[in-house]
Copies of this chain bind each other. A is one copy, B any other.
Amino acid sequence: MQERVTMADVARAAGVSSATVSYVLSGKRAVAPQTRAAVESAIAELGFTVNTAARSLRTGRSSLVALIVPDIANPFFAQLAATLQEELRGMGIHVVVCNTRARRDEERALLAEAVQQRFTGVVITPFRLLPRDMETLTAAGIPAVVSADVPFGPVDLVTPDARTATRRALERVTAAQRRRIAMIAGPRDATGGDPRLELLRSLAGQFGTALPRELVIRGEHTREAGAAGFARLMDRRYRPDAVFCANDVIAIGAMDKARELGIDIPGEVALVGHDDAAFASLVHPQLTTIRYPADSVGRAAARLLRERLDGRPVHRTVHVEAEFVARDSA
């Protein structure tokens, strides 16, 4: 049962006060080189590490960052968690994973908890949350980074720029003479509607086509919803020959249903996903998709958080370029 080494122990060993040890660690005031050296060697000798509980109690800030996402088991968010954790580790910050299951009540509860526990920061992909729900966080002075397709309250934002990639996707689809474009989008009550849908709609005109209302299906970001959505689309009199999906999980569900119905992809219907989740290249046919790079998003989020903790006062937005990945399904 090793005893904990405290700053007082280090101070004694180095022949200084514990305040000096603290200042050596934080760099918040000048310390004479030889004092610093003595402290540092005492720290090394004794194997001292700071007690984060004491620090948190004193400063009112924990060393935790909450990652609040709809579904941590979704490969996109799992990768985001991995990258974020990796990036923040060097600062001694731990990443706490929080699943909202796409429910607004859980999103709000988790935000409230982040405030109560005095988390040092929050990275969140809101799903049904409203921008004003973020106020609790900003009021408490907790830096927040939102990873979302559209701006979301007065916080830092990591947002993909998918315009070019979406245009490429439309080029590809229309080059194959497809004009009846559909989308299986996210739920109607999701925060900010579905920006991926809006983008597709706004670009479709440039390609001599449009997304008629009856060819837009709304549903959850699940495989089941993808299958159901695809089935409904195939029932339309005006049957689509290209289907975009709000994410890859939905696209997989659509593929399930296509197989069940004996509909050839991409022969009869082209299919385009979003995210480039890890499994996108595993399905057959391989999924053509618009890639949102989870690792770049994670790195950007970590950087914004670091800057914020270093005192940057204004909010920043980082754009991450999405990428069209042409595989076999379109």
Contact = CB atoms under 8 A, between A and B. Distances in A.
Interface string A113-156: 00111100000000000000000100111000000000000000
Interface stretch (A92-100, A160-168, A187-195): A92-100
Interface in A56-74: 56-57, 60, 62, 64, 71-73
Given A1-B139, A282-B279, A283-B284, A79 B85 contact: no
B85 A78 contact: no
Contact of A57 (B1, B51, B73): B51
A78 to B, nearest CB: 4
B72 A82 contact: yes
Nearest to A95: B97
B73 A1 contact: no
B99 A96 contact: no
B73 A62 contact: no
A271 interface: no
A75 B78 contact: yes
Nearest to A279: B279
Nearest to A63: B117
Interface core residue of A53, A79, A252, A283 (most chain B CB under 10 Å): A53
A7 interface: no
Contacts of A78: 72-73, 75, 78, 81
Contacts of A284: 283-284
15 contacts: A2-B139, A51-B57, A52-B117, A53-B53, A56-B57, A71-B82, A73-B78, A75-B75, A75-B278, A78-B81, A85-B98, A86-B99, A278-B279, A282-B282, A283-B283
A30 interface: no
A-B residue pairs, 5 tightest by C-beta: A284-B284, A53-B56, A78-B78, A279-B279, A53-B57
A49 interface: yes
Interface in A274-299: 278-279, 282-284
Nearest to A101: B86
A119 to B, nearest CB: 10
Contacts of A56: 53, 56-57
A64 B94 contact: yes
A85 B72 contact: yes
Contacts of A116: 49
B118 A53 contact: yes
A68 to B, nearest CB: 11
A32 interface: no
Interface in A1-31: 1-2, 4
A261 interface: no
A314 interface: no
